[in-house]
């Protein structure tokens, strides 16, 4: 078919309708052709003994369905990072840039940085710093004892002088001798303290010289590392459908005025597109999927599809997909005011049933209107204030305040866990138990926001109570009661192996995409900040 990396479909796909536009890489439902290609790639990959164990441990793979110059259909396959310590396998597309070349720039630069690391390690393992710190502490302690002893001797001499003066029998020569003795002792104390300061300063200079040597090595390492990264990402040159080329370093410099994160350009999506553009192949649709066990902390399920990561891939995708007819972002198609159901309203607050896909408050995209802004339009620009949020993909009850005082009171109730909330969720799978509590700490995935990860050391505690309501084949309807309010708390607690290990249906980030995220804020109960009535609201099940 014109390229050794194109694979023909093993099954008959002639009856499958081709996609009209290319997959929006940050949020998509995998096309049927991608699913078939992914199945064939997994069958092949897991049959290879060389990397079978590595894949079982967990790896992101990807497929890109393409047409060649004759219009024939096929697909490309890729893996994220390296596989079996190399980036060259006949079945998969190659790296954009092979940083593992033994005599290449990266390996040479890495060797130099490694030597600095060894120097730092040798210095820190030598114990010189700790010995100097101990010596300084011991010297100070010894000097304090010496000064204390001298001061005691001086105090005794002063007491003797005072007694002699009180006797009243001193001659002028004796008084002069006492004064001289006192002056000598004061000078003696000053000399001793000066000598002590000199001794300690000498040791502290030695310690500072040591620390400066280590700091200089660390600074040198940082400069060399940044320079190596800059040169490295300058070698990652990517193409787009318009025939334009740009290196990854420049793309991030123009967009963020900083270097790309480590590993940028090593994900499946840019590898697949790069190969397609270099070989005049037309991209039709793309999907990335996980194979093997879930990594520690993150949530990845075998066989589930995931969007391209935002921190590394989004800027590359924005450039590489120029000239490709791409699907619109499904999250950008916001519902209008006529689709928003106002459940309750008085002069102090308003409770709204948020549609799926709508932002609660304004986001980075200035063209996407939020529920808060729609409520402002509904009230002709009068004050509407945020109290809490629902994820864009979550539907259900949201309360807004109309005054600062009401906003402050309601926020306090949320922060103090005085607000009762329940959610309905449809899960893909059947949990082990019918009810219980999930207690898994969460923090942001710094390299792939807004994803969250479970982190028992640095995460914030997150607690969820759950109750199974109904089983529907391999799906389960559950009621969630969050006892804390962390970002993506219910989504992670449902998906994580130490939670329910059953992703919420349609969860693109932690499960498998569908026509929507099947998570709905069902009920809301709080104390009215002004009337002090208990306010209870229940949303209709979508």
Convert 440-459 to b/e letters by CB count within 10 Å (16 or more is b).
Answer: bbbbbbeebeebbbbbeeeb
C-alpha closest to that of 288 among 310, 303, 266: 303
Phi then psi for 421, rounded to 5 degrees? -130, 140
Query: Coil, strand or helix: which one is 376?
Result: helix
User: Is 520 contained in some domain?
Assistant: yes
Contacts of residue 471, defined as CB under 8 A and 6 or more positions apart, other chains included, come to 430, 477
Instruction: Examine the domain organization and report whether 60 and 130 are in the same domain.
Output: no
Residue 99 binned pLDDT confidence (cut-offs 50, 70, 90): low
Query: Coil, strand or helix: which one is 209?
Result: helix
C-alpha closest to that of 472 among 410, 416, 430: 430
Instruction: Find the mean pLDDT for residues 3-24.
Output: 92
In the set 353, 391, 409, 445, the catalytic residue is: 391
Neighbouring CB atoms inside 10 A of 433's CB total: 9
- Euclidean distance between the first and the last CA atom of the chain, given in angstroms as a whole number: 48
Neighbouring CB atoms inside 10 A of 159's CB total: 10
Instruction: Examine the domain organization and report whether 339 and 483 are in the same domain.
Output: yes
Domain that holds residue 134: 123-231
Instruction: Examine the domain organization and report whether 479 and 400 are in the same domain.
Output: yes
Whole-angstrom Cα distance, residue 151 to residue 451? 65
User: Is 222 contained in some domain?
Assistant: yes
Is there a catalytic annotation at residue 325?
A: no
Residue 401 binned pLDDT confidence (cut-offs 50, 70, 90): very high
pLDDT in tens, 424-460: 999 999 999 999 999 999 999 887 778 899 999 999 9
Instruction: Examine the domain organization and report whether 162 and 306 are in the same domain.
Output: no
User: Is 371 contained in some domain?
Assistant: yes
pLDDT of the residue at 367:
55
What's the chain's Rg over C-alpha atoms?
Answer: 34
- DSSP-assigned letters across all residues of 50-69: HHHHHHHT-EEEEEEEEE-T
C-alpha closest to that of 271 among 449, 477, 79, 25: 79
Instruction: Examine the domain organization and report whether 400 and 495 are in the same domain.
Output: yes
Instruction: Examine the domain organization and report whether 354 and 500 are in the same domain.
Output: yes
Residue 13 binned pLDDT confidence (cut-offs 50, 70, 90): very high
Instruction: Examine the domain organization and report whether 259 and 386 are in the same domain.
Output: no
**Cβ–Cβ < 8 Å for 542, 520:** yes
Instruction: Examine the domain organization and report whether 310 and 383 are in the same domain.
Output: no
Instruction: Examine the domain organization and report whether 523 and 391 are in the same domain.
Output: yes
Checking DSSP bridges between strand 519-527 and strand 395-401, what pairing results, if any? parallel
Burial class (CB in 10 A: 0-12, 13-18, 19+), 362: middle
Hey, which bits of 49-196 come out as E strands?
A: 59-67, 73-79
Instruction: Examine the domain organization and report whether 372 and 516 are in the same domain.
Output: yes
Query: Coil, strand or helix: which one is 74?
Result: strand
pLDDT in tens, 300-334: 888 999 999 888 899 999 999 999 999 988 766 65
Give pTM, 2 decimals.
0.67
User: Is 2 contained in some domain?
Assistant: no
Instruction: Examine the domain organization and report whether 208 and 287 are in the same domain.
Output: no
Final residue belonging to a domain, choices 180, 206, 231? 231
User: Is 257 contained in some domain?
Assistant: yes
Mean pLDDT, the chain, whole residue set: 90
User: Is 414 contained in some domain?
Assistant: yes
Whole-angstrom Cα distance, residue 355 to residue 347? 23
The CATH number linked to 424 is 3.30.2350.10
Neighbouring CB atoms inside 10 A of 150's CB total: 15
Final residue belonging to a domain, choices 320, 355, 390? 320
User: Is 11 contained in some domain?
Assistant: no
Whole-angstrom Cα distance, residue 421 to residue 415? 13
Which ranges in 236-258 belong to alpha helices (H)?
Answer: 248-256
Instruction: Examine the domain organization and report whether 153 and 266 are in the same domain.
Output: no
Final residue belonging to a domain, choices 231, 255, 280? 231
Contacts of residue 111, defined as CB under 8 A and 6 or more positions apart, other chains included, come to none
More confident residue, 104 or 294: 294
Provide the number of structural domains found in the chain. Answer: 3
User: Is 465 contained in some domain?
Assistant: yes
């Amino acid at each position: 078919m014109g390229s050794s990396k194109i694979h023909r479909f093993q099954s008959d796909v002639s009856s499958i309708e081709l996609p009209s536009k290319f997959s929006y890489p940050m949020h998509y439902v995998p096309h049927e052709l991608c699913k078939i290609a992914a199945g064939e790639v997994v069958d092949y990959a897991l049959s290879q003994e060389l990397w079978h164990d590595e894949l079982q441990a967990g790896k992101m793979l990807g497929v890109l369905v393409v047409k060649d110059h004759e219009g024939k259909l096929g697909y490309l396959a890729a893996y994220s990072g390296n596989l079996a310590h190399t980036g060259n396998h006949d079945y998969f597309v190659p790296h954009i840039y092979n940083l593992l070349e033994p005599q290449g720039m990266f390996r040479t630069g890495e060797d130099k940085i490694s030597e600095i690391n060894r120097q730092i390690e040798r210095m820190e393992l030598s114990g010189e710093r700790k010995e100097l710190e101990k010596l300084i502490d011991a010297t100070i302690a010894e000097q304090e004892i010496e000064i204390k002893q001298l001061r005691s001797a001086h105090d005794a001499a002063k007491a003797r002088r005072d007694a002699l003066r009180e006797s009243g029998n001193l001659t002028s020569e004796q008084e002069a001798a006492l004064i001289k003795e006192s002056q000598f002792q004061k000078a003696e104390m000053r000399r001793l303290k000066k000598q002590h300061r000199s001794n300690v300063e000498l040791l502290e200079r030695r310690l500072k010289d040591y620390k400066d040597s280590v700091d200089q090595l660390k600074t040198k390492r940082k400069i060399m590392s940044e320079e190596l990264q800059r040169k490295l990402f300058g070698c990652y040159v990517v193409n787009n459908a318009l025939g334009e080329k740009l290196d990854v370093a420049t793309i991030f410099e123009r967009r963020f005025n900083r270097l790309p994160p480590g590993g940028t350009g090593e994900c499946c999506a840019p590898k697949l597109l790069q190969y397609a553009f270099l070989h005049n192949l037309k991209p039709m649709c793309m999907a990335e999927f996980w194979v093997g066990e879930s990594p520690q902390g993150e949530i990845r399920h075998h066989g589930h599809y995931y969007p391209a990561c935002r921190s590394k891939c989004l800027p590359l995708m924005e450039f590489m997909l120029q000239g490709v007819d791409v699907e619109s972002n499904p999250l950008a198609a916001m519902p209008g005011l006529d689709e928003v159901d106002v459940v309750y309203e008085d002069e102090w607050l308003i409770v709204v049933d948020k549609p799926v896909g709508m932002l609660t408050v304004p986001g980075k995209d200035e063209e996407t209107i939020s529920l808060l802004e729609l409520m402002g339009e509904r009230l002709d620009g009068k004050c509407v204030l945020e109290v809490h949020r629902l994820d864009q993909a979550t539907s259900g009850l949201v309360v807004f305040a109309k005054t600062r005082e009401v906003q402050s009171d309601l926020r306090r109730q949320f922060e103090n866990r005085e607000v009762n909330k329940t959610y309905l969720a449809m899960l893909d799978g059947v949990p082990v138990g019918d009810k219980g509590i999930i207690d898994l700490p969460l923090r942001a995935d710094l390299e792939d926001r807004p994803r969250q990860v479970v982190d028992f050391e640095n995460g914030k505690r997150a607690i969820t109570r759950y109750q199974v309501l109904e089983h529907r084949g391999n799906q389960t309807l559950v009621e969630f009661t969050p006892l804390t309010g962390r970002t993506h708390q219910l989504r992670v607690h449902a998906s994580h192996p130490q939670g329910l290990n059953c992703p919420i249906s349609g969860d693109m980030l932690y499960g498998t995409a569908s026509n929507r995220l099947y998570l709905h804020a069902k009920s809301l109960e709080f104390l009215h900040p002004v009337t002090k009535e208990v306010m209870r609201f229940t949303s209709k099940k979508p």
